[in-house]
Chains A and B, each alone.
Chain A
């Protein structure tokens, strides 16, 4: 999307709303700064995809007239602290005090189009684009200053927002240098990057500034945005996925609920607009009792879901075939296991919210979507509007951990903005709808067959994965957004979405001469999309459980068994580190320690996790006492940001592993609130300890999804150590249900 290109980007500084301070020569002498200018080293490597699409510096970096640097990123804040990481790399390359750097996140027409914020890719793409753009901006400022002052670049130094001519009192600010316009230069290699050993900010635990705002109750989330004369709305969702509205009786609504402004019925899309928020809640309740819907196609019932999946799956597709598994295993005894992971939900603490206002020309939308540009495409297509007439601004929601219901709430608000123009319409989803209509992380079956050689090493391994799609995120395929499916002229999803995420990490990252991976895609009964780490969560739970089964058969220590199957030094380093972290641990009866290893996507970050569990001998309840992680995400940008993500991820993964499962019967989804979909509570929270192996000279990888998969395997393996019982089905719940 390059619709808003150079002319709008090349805005004059004063358009950004700051007072001109004009050309000036400061007379301060900066001798102390002379000594701390870092060395630069040319970078000749690849540029990230985001940067290739938006190659001008001014797409990423703007200089404000008050001297502050404004960084633009197309990513959104999800509680992962991306804003701080981006600030760090920009301040670093521009040798700027971090306090003078602001970050503006996703807004159509303003920030670069960076697609979705997901796949732990924001640091690789957005932060690295900003790094290269900022470094290029620095050289450009020096070159322009050298022309202006008639001296060579070597005679200049750039620091904290000013360029100084060494040994003189001549100082130029950035706005002096740029003479009131923004950068007009493309980023190109070689790029002079700061030497990593001279970093001031990158790699350090720079605190986030948004936590203070949150803890003081300042306006932070989309839920907190208020506009003059804003009105409220709720949508009355159908009885089931493919139910149709048969009858609606609105008589008596205005008598029963005050403040009702409008009831909207478009096909099977039913909504009500009110003056006050709680009036919308009451009106929704009234209309729920006064609508009739056709019954939906029966669901298979959650107890039978895995048999159902096998029945409806397509024939397998071969994804990988190293060596010759089929031939090698003809004459040897193989070991087989099967693991099941149910549907689980995003379960955001804040149900989705969307705000929209149609001013007669432009449709303005506020959303906590993870991809405002692709959402704009979907809404434009639904409303048959030009994309330029839709303006979407991202605002943080509660943590979502993947594609949840944010886009759907924005779509609801967009539809209603046309029904009730010139007013801001705020749509707040209920807890029940947020859980019932969530695009869940799909149920997955992972089956293995493997053989050991005479030395007890793995000679052959076959993985078969049954999986649904792992991304049905909004895009030009209008049926990706929920409300579009229920309009009088409905849109149905044309594509199956992103399937390959389903077999992610199902082929182990170990040296195995004969390895085969087959994917059995199915189109399941429930709405599904991306959930933190996609298929890796189920697959690594399975792979690393099976590794322990094979180690047991080979009569080897689980960690040493893993070390025998890799010569990747970074894999060895995290496994050895987790060994060291846990070596002094002792266990009593009914306690056990287990391990899980993963290289995420088999190409990115390395993680080893250990879990210590205890099993209550009376009721079989499994509790996790402590979790350790040894993590290598390459170059560390924000140390505390990574530790925080890993700690939190291990706790969330513990919740998924011990407790979570979307339940449903023939007529409906029954996990509709926190009582029917319990998650981990304080009394169940394990202690967590994280060790980060910093590799400043390696490429940077995202951390957000990394702790999820190995945590589940570590817990399951610890349960085996504690009880002798192997976990084949998630969630573990109580051991009596998992006896095999």
Chain B
């Protein structure tokens, strides 16, 4: 079985797996990361979102053989080495912006991707950026509020 060396959360990880194994399964099953979630496997819900070179992308249909040396960041990789969480993570805790929390991974990653490109988004831009991320509990309005707070947090 082929080996793939991936750049994940700033470290090099090698996995031995079939070329068609999607990145999500590499992250969860081989590397035992719990941040990205399996929600549909069809790239419809956003629960499995990761950052690839800083931009959000679903990982459930992306074969490991297509990744190469792209920089992959998962939820776990947002925390800086001193243990400080990303402003979006902090704001979600502060606003209690979750019920079951299963969609949160995707919401956080999509929001971080947005703020990377647009540090001061308005409500419409936030909604656009999260349009492909589904939430069933209805935590949307709290998540929007948290992202606005995160955008206004100056580190």
Contacts and interface: CB of A to CB of B under 8 A. Distances in A.
Interface of A: 78-81, 207-208, 210-212, 214-221, 223-224, 226, 232, 258, 276-279, 281-282, 347-351, 396-399, 401, 428, 430-431, 640, 644-645, 647-652, 655, 673-675, 679, 681-683, 685, 687-688
Contacts of B105: 217
A347 B136 contact: yes
Contacts of A215: 75, 85, 89, 92-93, 98, 101, 104, 108
A216 B44 CA distance: 23
B131 A650 contact: no
A674 B40 contact: yes
Contact of A349 (B29, B33, B47, B126): B47
Contacts of A655: 138
B70 interface: no
A431 B104 CA distance: 18
A683 B100 contact: no
A53 B105 CA distance: 40
A687 B141 contact: yes
Interface in B18-35: 18, 20-22, 25, 28-30, 32-35
A79 B100 CA distance: 4
Contact of B34 (A219, A279, A281, A347): A219
A655 B60 CA distance: 25
Nearest to B79: A216
B41 interface: yes
Interface residues of B, number: 60
A350 B98 contact: no
B134 interface: yes
A217 B106 CA distance: 11
A401 B102 CA distance: 14
Q: Report whether over half of chain B's contact residues are helix, strand or loop; otherwise say mixed.
A: loop
Given A349-B103, A431-B40, A647-B142, 7 more contacts: A210-B101, A215-B93, A277-B29, A350-B102, A673-B44, A682-B126, A683-B128
Most chain B CB neighbours (cut-off 10 Å) among A78, A215, A278, A650: A215
A208 B96 contact: yes
> Among the interface residues A647, A655, A675, which one has the most CB atoms of the partner chain B within 10 A?
A647
A673 B40 contact: yes
A220 B34 contact: yes
Given A278-B18, A647-B141, A687-B141, A80 B99 contact: yes
Interface of B: 1, 17-18, 20-22, 25, 28-30, 32-42, 44-45, 47, 74-76, 79, 85, 89, 92-93, 96-105, 108, 126-128, 130-142, 144
A65 B127 CA distance: 50
A398 B32 contact: no
Contacts of A428: 38
Nearest to B106: A349
A219 B28 CA distance: 11
Contact of B18 (A211, A258, A397): A258
A351 B38 contact: yes
Contacts of B35: 216-217
Contacts of B132: 681
Of listed A211, A217, A650, residue having the most chain B CB within 10 A? A217
A320 B96 CA distance: 43
Nearest to B98: A211
A350 B37 contact: yes
Given A211-B92, A216-B85, A431-B39, A78 B134 contact: no
A644 B104 CA distance: 15
| Most chain B CB inside 10 Å of its own CB: which residue of A214, A645, A648, A688 | A214
B99 A349 contact: no
A683 B102 contact: no
Nearest to B108: A215
Contacts of B131: 681-683
A614 B52 CA distance: 39
Nearest to B17: A276
Contacts of A640: 96
B17 to A, nearest CB: 7
Nearest to A259: B18
Nearest to A232: B29
Nearest to A210: B101
Q: Which of A208, A212, A281, A648 has the most CB of B within 10 A?
A: A648
Nearest to A653: B138
Contact of B25 (A218, A220, A278, A681): A278
Contacts of B76: 216-217
Nearest to A77: B100
A349 B21 contact: no
A615 to B, nearest CB: 20
Contacts of A351: 38-40
Given A208-B96, A652-B137, A349 B41 contact: no
A333 B142 CA distance: 49
Contacts of B141: 647, 651, 685, 687-688
- Please indicate which of the listed interface residues A278, A428, A640, A647 has the most CB atoms of chain B within 10 Å of its own CB: A278
Contact of B101 (A220, A232, A647): A220
A218 B75 CA distance: 9
A232 B44 CA distance: 23
A224 B34 CA distance: 6
B144 to A, nearest CB: 8
Contacts of B93: 207, 211-212, 215
Nearest to A431: B40
B33 A217 contact: yes
A348 B37 CA distance: 13
Contact of A645 (B25, B99, B103, B134): B99
A569 to B, nearest CB: 30
A8 to B, nearest CB: 32
A682 B44 contact: no
Contacts of A348: 102, 136
A80 B96 CA distance: 12
Contacts of B92: 211, 215
Given A258-B18, A349-B134, A431 B41 contact: yes
Contact of B104 (A214, A226, A645, A649): A214
Contact of B96 (A207, A221, A281): A207
A679 B40 CA distance: 14
21 contacts: A80-B99, A211-B101, A216-B79, A217-B76, A220-B34, A232-B29, A258-B1, A276-B29, A276-B30, A278-B25, A278-B29, A279-B18, A349-B37, A350-B37, A350-B39, A397-B100, A399-B99, A399-B137, A649-B138, A650-B138, A651-B141
